[in-house]
Chains A and B, each alone.
Chain A
Amino acid sequence: MERKIRVLIAKPGLDGHDRGAKVVARALRDAGMEVIYTGLHQTPEMIVDAAIQEDVDVVGLSLLSGAHMTLFIDVARLLKKKGMDDVLIIGGGIIPEEDIPRLKKEGIKGVFGPGTLCEDIVDFIKKNVKK
């Protein structure tokens, strides 16, 4: 059976900076994954809805506005509530060091800030995605 890793890349909230999200999306595609990019200004409900319909293995969230503690956590909780608890959640953007432990506790398994190598994200997904 030919399994492909499917990833949803989403930008929650009011944040127009999507260069980073697009760079990551391309890197994941080049690593052989199917990447669904949903565009800007997504609510947690929209993101979770898309994650369910697209049956993704990974949800990648990108945020530079500072609202990650609310929005990342909302997405993680909503995914869990809808029974999507086998989905690997990762996040990136401008995330202060001290926020990371709390995010990880809430289920955002990987947090990648500026300077991260794309290969590291690819490796992290391949290692941590539920088979």
Chain B
Amino acid sequence: MKDIVSKVIRGDSRAIARLITLAENNDPVAAEAMKRIHPYTGKAHVIGVTGVLGSGKSTLIYELTRWYRRQGKKVGVIAIDPTSPFSGGALLGDRIRMSELAGDDGVFIRSMGTRGMLGGLASAVYDVVEILDASGKDVVMVETVGVGQAEVDVIKIADTTLVVVVPGLGDSIQTLKAGMMEIADIFVVNKADREGVDQTVAEVENLVDITSMDNDRKTPVLKTVARDGSGVKELVDEIEKHKKYLKLTKEFEKQRRLRYEAELVEIIRKRLMKLIFDESTFKEKIENLLDKISKKEIDPHSAAEEILSKILK
């Protein structure tokens, strides 16, 4: 697959799909291809969509995609679901809500398992964003796993982060405030046809008032009903406004730098882990050290230092 990179840049679906697989599998071919992909990236607007389980993230992405398609924009969607830490398997069901988009060449949807990554993203997601970007997508949407409080990594990758909440969470919005509520560029109160929506909007706005006190931009709070598409046009407009704001305030460069930093750290982390835990020489060493730790001949900190000193030399 020598020409996989040029095929990806031309927007060939099979080549895009194959390169994503190679990246997910940490294949050395992917690392080489990604080096050549990088110069073609940076044009797509990356939208992160996060929120609690069942808040309607997939349906919202489906509706957003339809709007972008009407504007003639090409769309990439990365839908992440959790990988079981026990079996290593995953059930990826986000396409169910997006199946009406099938057959449209301007839309590419890919489901990913987290494969051991915490924080709501998948380890290869940085590569996948770059691949879709290079393939000519104008908008790339990243749907995180259904999150609780601490899964906030999506801000590292997204230019615009949407946090989706629903009515009826009640006081739980209060408990969410430390993590998820701090990362929103736009709040979306979805399922706004439900009872209690006004209270939810009020609670979110209350939080926004507190958190954006020293900022020049107040985080907007929008109501949507993704199921029938109402409020989605306003959301598209608000995303566009945020994009302009980023460009105007130099926040954009800061945001991109944050993404590259996260990507760099992830690449190094993966390579180091592989170096230490996959190479047979180290495996033996680690087993030895574990024996010694069990017998109290050495402590875990000294053992770690011993392993690190081997790599660093």
Q: Taking beta carbons and an 8 Å cutoff, which residues of A are in contact with B?
A: 1-4, 6, 25-26, 28-39, 42-43, 45-46, 49-50, 52-55, 82-84
Contact = CB atoms under 8 A, between A and B. Distances in A.
Given A30-B87, A53-B17, 17 more contacts: A1-B27, A4-B88, A4-B113, A4-B115, A29-B90, A34-B83, A34-B111, A36-B92, A37-B92, A39-B95, A39-B99, A50-B99, A50-B109, A52-B17, A53-B13, A53-B110, A55-B18
Interface in B50-109: 83-84, 87-93, 95-96, 99, 102-103, 108-109
B92 A1 contact: no
B109 A1 contact: no
Given A53-B17, A54-B110, A55-B17, A32 B87 contact: yes
B103 A42 contact: no
B103 A49 contact: yes
Contacts of A28: 89
**Dominant SS at the B interface?**
mixed
- Which of A4, A25, A45, A46 has its CB near the most chain B CB atoms (within 10 A)? A4
Contacts of A84: 14
Contacts of B21: 6, 55
Interface size class of B (residues with CB under 8 A): 20 to 34
27 contacts: A1-B25, A3-B25, A6-B21, A29-B90, A30-B84, A30-B89, A31-B87, A32-B89, A33-B89, A35-B91, A37-B93, A38-B96, A39-B93, A39-B95, A39-B99, A45-B102, A46-B99, A50-B95, A50-B99, A52-B13, A53-B13, A53-B108, A53-B109, A54-B17, A54-B95, A55-B20, A55-B21
Contacts of A55: 14, 17-18, 20-21
A34 B17 contact: no
Nearest to B105: A49
A26 B17 contact: no
Contacts, number: 92
Contacts of B91: 25-26, 29, 35, 37
Contacts of B14: 52, 55, 82-84
